[in-house]
Amino acid sequence: MDISEIAKRLGLSDSKQLVRKAAEIRRLCDVQFDSSVIGVGEVSKAVMCLEIAATRFQVIFDRRAATKLSGLSEKAYTRSFNLLQNSIGVKTKLDVRELAIQFGCVRIIPSVQKGLSLYKDRFLASLPASRRAGADFTRPVFTAVAFYLSAKKQKLKIDKDKLIEVCGTSESEFLSVSTCMKDLCYDVFGISKEKMDPREVKGNRDLLDVLPEKRTVEEGGYLSDDGPEVSSYKKRKRTEKAGYEKWKSTVMESNKNNSKGSCKKARQTSLNFLREVPNGNTNELEA
């Protein structure tokens, strides 16, 4: 199927410049990317080239209709589209404001921009002088990761899978950049999971003193002369164990006493098998 016919089905035939750009991208794919390796046919490849061209010219593109026309599932189309983009070196620009509007997190825009700028500075400072010129932060994965970590820091729910699709990267690359960004900018993106010591907070300390039965060893709330609180389950287990030890010692002592008595010399008992005969019967036998 010709790419102009596919553009007509997707409602993009009015823009001749877009169709020519899509045909140019398709020829580039034929040279640099073997679509048969990932199981993408010619129609699917043409649809993806049209989407790349539409993104460059900022033309609205119907992804649902394109997925249906390509004959692929939504996940398979997204995965193949990302692979095709990366193979031909197409870079998608991702704006923080557009992401914030799309995901409904407008209030985190300043923190995302601040964290991203800080990450760039610290990352460049960690590189040797000879490699700093080659550092590339224009890829959308950096913006997407900074956006995701800022939202997570402020306890906002973000669909990570959808964000990965929007930025056109893989999950492994997203996780790798996320780990690096949290390590370098933990003061901005890090989330502390350490439990606060109640003794350091006066309000909690007063509350624990009022309710001593709520104090636990982990909280460090009990006093040194009180000892830790023991649960009823542990008390029952200790009682059962003490009873078992007492019974065990009694049985062992009894066995020792029995073994001492059994050490005496055994005496054989004589057995009398003679039958007693009455006196009358004895006289008859004598006669």
pLDDT at residue 41 above 80?
yes
Res 219: pLDDT = 42
pLDDT digits (tens, 9 = 90+) for 69-114: 888 888 788 778 877 877 777 766 778 888 888 888 889 999 999 9
pLDDT at residue 195 above 50?
no
Res 148: pLDDT = 92
Res 149: pLDDT = 92
Compute the average pLDDT of residues 229-233.
57
Task: Write the DSSP string, the chain.
Answer: --HHHHHHHTT-TT-HHHHHHHHHHHHHHHHH--GGGGT--HHHHHHHHHHHHHHHTT----HHHHHHHHT--HHHHHHHHHHHHHHHT------HHHHHHHHT-GGGHHHHHHHHHHHHHHHHHHS-TTTGGG----SHHHHHHHHHHHHHHTT----HHHHHHHHT--HHHHHHHHHHHHHHTHHHH----PPPPGGGSHHHHHHHHH-GGG--TTTT-S-TTT-----HHHHHHHHHHHHHHHHHHHHHHHHHHHHHHTTSPP-PPP---PPP--HHHHHHHH-
Res 273: pLDDT = 54
pLDDT digits (tens, 9 = 90+) for 112-125: 999 999 998 888 88
Of the ranges 17-26, 51-60, 126-135, 224-233, the best mean pLDDT one = 17-26
Compute the average pLDDT of residues 141-158.
90
pLDDT at residue 208 above 50?
no
Largest CA distance in the chain: 151
- Name the average pLDDT for the chain: 75
Contact 140, 110 (CB under 8 A): no
Res 14: pLDDT = 81
Res 236: pLDDT = 75
Res 277: pLDDT = 54
What percentage of residues in the chain have a pLDDT greater than 90? Answer: 5
pLDDT digits (tens, 9 = 90+) for 84-96: 877 777 766 778 8
pLDDT at residue 227 above 50?
no
Compute the average pLDDT of residues 160-171.
78
Of the ranges 2-11, 191-200, 226-235, 260-269, the best mean pLDDT one = 2-11
Of the ranges 167-176, 209-218, 254-263, the best mean pLDDT one = 167-176
One-letter amino acid identity for 129? A
Compute the average pLDDT of residues 52-62.
82
pLDDT at residue 213 above 50?
no
